Amino acid sequence: METLESHFYNWFGVLFFVVLYSVVLFFIPFYRKMDTKPAGTYLAFIVAFAIEMHGIPFSMWVISWIIGKNLPEGILWGHTLVNSIGFWGMYINIGCAIVALFLILNGWYNIHKKYWSKETGKGSLVKSGVYRFIRHPQYTGLLLLSFGMMAEWATLPMLILYPVMIGMYLRLAKREEKDMLNEFGDEYREYMKETKMFIPFIV
């Protein structure tokens, strides 16, 4: 139990990671109030990640209570893959974070420059930067950032929330595409044929 006490109950660490991973939400556009619901799920994901990494090992306690046996690190909590691939989960998280930040920031820059800047009264369809390859780079970035966290520190709440988050951002993307079709018509239909939704050349 000494290891647990030294590693957990670090509430400054919890706050630090919540703030760190929440900053990207400032670069995600919210066109309507309903758009904030997926962001709320992402925040819940971050809180689950930070609390179980530096606060309390909630998932470990729940699983141990259910099966009546203490579990070692790596069973649906902590560095889950550490016994199989060492600390590659941490490296995967870092790699995902780098790619995710590029997608989110590049997407924000192009949206801010081409669509939000409506000096003439109407924004133009954004097809530059990362939008040349996918239609929703910022949502891809958030999901990739979340996947990286899960690769390093998978827990029960995160495993439950991740597919929910995917579903919510998929529905949000489809709603936004209806708006884009109403605004840009055939130009957006052609753009949809030329690019994938979330992953270049795949989906």
The DSSP call for residue 23 is G
User: 154 versus 3: which is more confidently predicted?
Assistant: 154
pLDDT, tens digit (0-9, with 9 covering 90-100), for 112-140: 877 766 555 466 888 999 999 999 999 99
98 to each of 89, 94, 120, 166, 196, how far by Cα in Å?
A: 14, 6, 35, 20, 21
Instruction: Answer whether residue 93 shows pLDDT above 80.
Output: yes
- The reported pLDDT for the residue numbered 152 is 87
Give the helix ranges, DSSP H, for 23-136: 36-50, 58-67, 82-85, 88-111
Instruction: Answer whether residue 69 shows pLDDT above 90.
Output: no
Instruction: Answer whether residue 50 shows pLDDT above 60.
Output: yes
- The reported pLDDT for the residue numbered 3 is 44
130 to each of 13, 58, 144, how far by Cα in Å?
A: 33, 38, 15
The residue among 150, 166, 148 whose CA lies nearest residue 158 is 150
Is 192:135 a contact under the CB 8 Å cutoff? Answer: yes
Q: What is the overall mean pLDDT for the chain?
A: 85
User: What whole-number distance in Å separates Cα of residue 180 and Cα of residue 136?
Assistant: 12
pTM listed for this prediction? 0.84
Q: Which residue has the tokens 């995710």?
A: 100
- The reported pLDDT for the residue numbered 148 is 95
